[in-house]
Amino acid sequence: MNKFPLEIINKIMSFLPILTKERVLLNNDIIKTFYLKKWFNYYESIEEYSSNPKHDDYYLNWFENDLIFILNNKTILMHGINKEFSSLLKQIHVTGPSLEDVFPMKELTNSEKMIRSIIRHLTIKQINRIDYELELYNNRVHTGHSCIFLPDVFSFY
């Protein structure tokens, strides 16, 4: 590129994206929206899950449950909240995760709102990790094959 005239180099460089803080945030929002749509569509396509938000087996309730399971290092909430998930809940609720903060009565009936508030506070690296974990988990659930022998190639935090 050193042999090109300076005018051509400047013209080429003018078309390259300059990542300002706003563009980075916009890119992150686009990536998060893509993955949310992908996950929503996947869970909605499972025939066993209901599309009625008033049913207990509503597909977003199942997705919320799986998302929390993965964020809590594959530990059900009944067995406690790990350090990383606790810090995420503190970011979401600012005051710290009391029982009412973790499960506000208004948000218990709205899984989509809870999912979106969780996703909003995650990094792209965490989103990629969740996507990887959801793929493994759902593959195991729907095929019956264990995925414990697959390498863990991502670092969550």
pLDDT tens, N- to C-terminus, the chain (157 residues)? 567 787 887 777 777 777 788 888 888 999 999 999 999 999 999 888 888 888 888 898 899 989 999 998 888 888 888 888 888 887 777 655 555 555 555 555 588 888 998 999 899 999 999 999 999 888 877 776 655 544 444 444 3
Three-state DSSP at 147 gives: coil
Domain spans of the chain, in order of start:
20-143
pLDDT of res. 26:
86
Residue 102 pLDDT: 57
Tokens of 42: 């996947």
Separation CA 104–CA 97 (nearest Å): 10
Residue 33: what pLDDT? 92
pLDDT value, residue 27: 87
Task: State how far the Cα of 138 lies from the Cα of 131, in Å rounded to an integer.
Answer: 10
Residues 6+ apart with CB under 8 A from 147: 136, 137, 139, 140
Nearest-angstrom CA–CA distance, 86 and 71: 10
CB atoms within 10 A of CB 49: 17
Structure tokens that stand for 95 in this block: 């005051």
